[in-house]
Structure 1
């Protein structure tokens, strides 16, 4: 009986380069690396038996991959498509499990706040949807439609009836205009707010600096050394910060901050200084605006809409403070907190540039239109069956 000869293999320059890279790869699958090395040895003219001994595989394995490469080239080293195990869930069962995952547990009488994969598996068996199913199988099933009932996201609906008017006024100030009129060179915009309850946490053991293959280490135990409120006023177009620290917030501390800004140039002699504030208790409503104007006639208070502090640019500065100054929190006293905040403020004022504010009045208009469509859709869904839906139809057509 004749002995089969090994299939001869020739490589192009590109194939040789790709095979060599795959044969010495540290990230590719192990099977792919072995197959590439088999082909590299075959190109050098080694026998199938010698290649099998070197890589601790059978001669049939070497013969298979050598033959596939000779016939198909590099694509021949990939696995053949496999039918796999027949699905254990029918389409109806899969749909019922997904529908269950898209319900709140409270709606089904289950005393849970949200579903987990083990809970869904147990509930599916209890309802008779399936006789048995594992939590990983539930996760794989839900992942096909990106359903993640174990996660949740908070949201708040716009309820300020003058949201669009107030937001447009604030956005206009950021673009250096007020009520459609461009601001002059002697008019300024200040964004102001308070960051409350900044604690001084003295760690029970010293913080360790990072080292080779080690991150900074901060002891979990600490002693409270008090807390303070950090009030800041941010010049939107000059990227300059003014601040005031106090034991608590209120009308008095806020007006102290205002006095610090309004009694220095160029704000003292400015034509107008607009103060963008949220609806906190220390500067809420028309009374606060009147109080500010009475003390400083060239100051104009502009409120952001209710629950829209994200329109206040000073919140971006507070996020920088939180990330760069206060985290991790390791201070021996409130004096150390104040010194750190003061030093950072000086550093920031020396190098900062105005924020690149990207939310424009056009974006606001798009947001309000999307909210209006959402409201209209909810009204249509709540319309009782058989009722005259003509007004809603006219609204949608408009």
Structure 2
């Protein structure tokens, strides 16, 4: 289990149960639950062209060339079987703010009252980041359309978007890719295919389960 100091256990449990109770709610198009996560990806090129040997095995040279990095942004609505993947050169507070602006302005959510956004505890995932990127009126407009629900420290595994990023990496990006344009094309095609097949997520771990399986993380209450 995780090394969580006793003085932080109550905060961990509170944040964990907030996320788990959110996942247990019924689907509501006016208050959709969207999970977001981000992941850096190295841009790696080949020094020699890959080839196939006489047995049909793909041969790849161990030497490669680094072309920097890019960042993948994953947004997924588990109950709707929808996800969107975007790429950027950086992962600053302003970059996050622009991704959130694109989310709230997406036609998909134009009739939503508020988007309940599950994200981890990175210091850029804050309402303050909106004010760093936009004028106050625009930052307030975006802030009023989202409700941030942070996973606890050491608890990013509670974020369903992290699961989607893992699937993306294994199914689509598990090889050397040297340009951000190719990564963007591959990721968008992957997301479109999964959306077309309505690949949802059936989350089964509940707050009641946590009180049994993670009992050691809960603070001890003196009688």
Please, what TM-score do these two structures have when normalized by structure 1? 0.49
Among 199, 203, 208, the alignment partner of 2:46 is: 203
Match of 2:124, SS state, is helix
Match of 1:276, SS state, is strand
Deviation at 1:219, TM superposition (A): 1.8
The structure with the greater share of residues assigned to strand is 2
Question: Hey, what does 1:172 align to over in structure 2?
Answer: 21
Quick one: distance in 2 between partners of 1:205 and 1:300?
A: 49
Quick one: distance in 1 between partners of 2:131 and 2:4?
A: 26
Which runs of structure 1 show a deviation greater than 3 angstroms over 4 or more consecutive aligned residues?
A: 182-185, 208-212, 286-293
Question: Hey, what does 1:342 align to over in structure 2?
Answer: 188
Does residue 315 (structure 1) correspond to residue 157 (structure 2)? The answer is no
Question: Hey, what does 1:12 align to over in structure 2?
Answer: none
- Aligned CA distance change for structure 1 residues 251 and 306 (closer, same or farther; 3 Å): same
- Aligned CA distance change for structure 1 residues 355 and 221 (closer, same or farther; 3 Å): same
Question: Hey, what does 2:135 align to over in structure 1?
Answer: none
Deviation at 1:268, TM superposition (A): 2.3
Quick one: distance in 2 between partners of 1:345 and 1:184?
A: 22
Quick one: distance in 2 between partners of 1:207 and 1:172?
A: 49
Match of 1:339, SS state, is helix
Among 50, 66, 70, the alignment partner of 1:228 is: 70
For the Cα contact (< 8 Å) 1:166–1:304, is it kept in 2? Answer: yes
For the Cα contact (< 8 Å) 1:274–1:301, is it kept in 2? Answer: yes
Alignment of 1:91-170 (within 5 A): 156-159=2-5, 160=8, 161-170=10-19
Alignment of 1:1-398 (within 5 A): 156-159=2-5, 160=8, 161-176=10-25, 184-196=28-40, 198-209=41-52, 212=55, 215-284=57-126, 287=128, 294-296=140-142, 297-329=144-176, 331-372=177-218
Quick one: distance in 1 between partners of 2:174 and 2:76?
A: 22
Match of 1:187, SS state, is coil
Quick one: distance in 2 between partners of 1:189 and 1:371?
A: 26
CA RMSD of aligned residues (A): 2.8
Quick one: distance in 2 between partners of 1:209 and 1:262?
A: 46
Deviation at 1:307, TM superposition (A): 1.6
For the Cα contact (< 8 Å) 2:94–2:130, is it kept in 1? Answer: no
Deviation at 1:333, TM superposition (A): 2.6
Q: Cα deviations across residues 323-344 of structure 1 (Å, max 9, x unaligned)?
A: 1122122x24332222222222
List alignment gaps of at least 5 residues for structure 2.
133-137
The structure with the greater share of residues assigned to helix is 1
Deviation at 1:368, TM superposition (A): 4.0
Number of equivalent positions:
214
Deviation at 1:360, TM superposition (A): 1.0
For the Cα contact (< 8 Å) 2:13–2:217, is it kept in 1? Answer: no
